[in-house]
Amino acid sequence: MTKDIATPIRTKEIMKKYGFSFKKSLGQNFLIDPNILENIVSHAGLTKEDGAIEVGPGIGALTEHLARASKKVVSFEIDQRLLPILQDTLSPYDNIKVLHADILKADVATTIKEEFTDVEKVMVVANLPYYVTTPIILKLLTENLPIQGLVVMLQKEVADRIAAKPGSKTYGSLSIAIQYYTEASTVMVVPKTVFMPQPNVDSAVIKLMKRDTPAVQVIDEEFFFLVTRSSFAQRRKTILNNLTSQLPDGKAKKESILSALSAAEIDPTRRGESLSIPEFGALADALYPFFKSGSS
C-alpha cells in the first residue's frame, strides 16, 4: 500500500517539493492524521460500488482514502496551484478525477450524470473550507442532486448549529434549512491540532443523510424559509415581534399575523428557537394567504 499523504512529515515534504504556501483566503488547512481520515470515510459507508464527490482535496489526503474505499472519486479544486501536486500525490490511483472548478459555480448535476454512470450511490465527503461551508452545503441540498448524503468536516460551531434541536441556544434558521432536507447528526469532533496550519477553532464531522421527502410539506418552500429566517432575526424577541418587523408590511399586517399564529396554535409570546420544523411549516402555511395571495 502507498504511504499515506496525511502525515506531518509527508505533508511538509510535498509542500517543500512544490514550494506550496497556504492561502488563507481559500481556508486551506490540511489534515495530518490518517486515522481521522479513515474514520470520516467509514461514516460515509462507501463500498467499491459507490461514488464519492469531494470538495477542496488540498494535496489529496482525504482523496486517497476515498479512492481506497469507493469505485470512483470526483474532486472539485479551485486552487490551480494544487493541480500538479494532486497529479503527483494521487498517481497511484486510477479511480480519481480532479476537476479545476469552483463547486459553487459548477454544474454538479451534469458532473454526476457524466462521471458516475455505473455506481450504486453517490456521497459527498469533504473537509470543507471554513469560509464557504454553508453556501456549499445549501447548494448541494437545494439543487436536488442524486446524492444520498454528505459527510463533511467543518467548524465545530457551525456543525453544532446545523445539528441543533429546538429549544437549544444553537438552534436557528440554519438548523431548519438543512434539517428540512436531511437527517443531521454530528459524528465526531476533531481537535485543531491535527491540521496544518492549525486553525483557531476545533472542527466537527457532520453526517447529513437526505430525506426521501422534506421534513414538512409546505405550500411554498421559499416563503417557509422566509418565515423561519424572520423568526430568528433577533433571538430575544418573541415570534410575533420578529414577524411584524421582518415580513413585508408586517407592521400593517399585525392582526393577520396574530390570526395566523392562532390558526397554527402557536403562542405569539414564544421565541423562534422553541418552534419545531412542523410548527414552522404550519405557521408558514397559515401566514401564506396574507402575504402571498395579494390579500391583507
Q: What is the mean pLDDT of each run of 10 residues along the chain (296 residues)?
A: 83 90 70 94 98 95 97 95 94 97 97 97 94 94 97 96 96 97 97 88 96 97 97 96 96 97 98 98 97 63
> Which stretches of the chain are DSSP H helices?
8-18, 34-44, 61-69, 83-89, 108-115, 133-142, 156-163, 173-179, 221-231, 239-246, 254-263, 277-292
Q: Is residue 51 part of an annotated ligand binding site?
A: no
pLDDT of amino acid 292: 81
Q: What is the DSSP letter of 218?
A: -
Name the residue among 269, 207, 282 with its Cα closest to residue 241. 269
Listed in sequence order, the DSSP H helices in 188-269 are 221-231, 239-246, 254-263
Fold category of 221-292 in CATH = Helicase, Ruva Protein; domain 3 (1.10.8)
- By three-state DSSP, how is residue 191 classified? coil
What is residue 129's predicted lDDT score, i.e. its pLDDT?
84
CA dihedral of residues 226, 228, 230, 234 (deg, nearest 10): -160
Which H helix or E strand runs over 101? none
- Is 29 assigned to a binding site? yes
Q: Tell me yes or no: is domain 8-210 CATH 3.40.50.150.
A: yes
| pLDDT computed for residue 199 by the predictor | 84
Kindly report whether the peptide bond that precedes residue 129 is cis, defined as omega within 30 degrees of 0: no
What grid cell was written down for 279?
A: 410548527
pLDDT at position 293 is 64
Instruction: Give me the residue spans of the domains in the chain.
Output: 8-210, 221-292
Count other C-beta atoms under 10 Å from residue 94's C-beta: 8
Cell 486510477 found at: 94
What gap in Å lies between CA 276 and CA 176, rounded to an integer? 9
Query: Annotated binding residue at 31?
Result: yes
Q: Is 77 annotated as a binding residue?
A: yes
pLDDT at 290: 94
User: Which pLDDT does position 2 carry in this prediction?
Assistant: 67
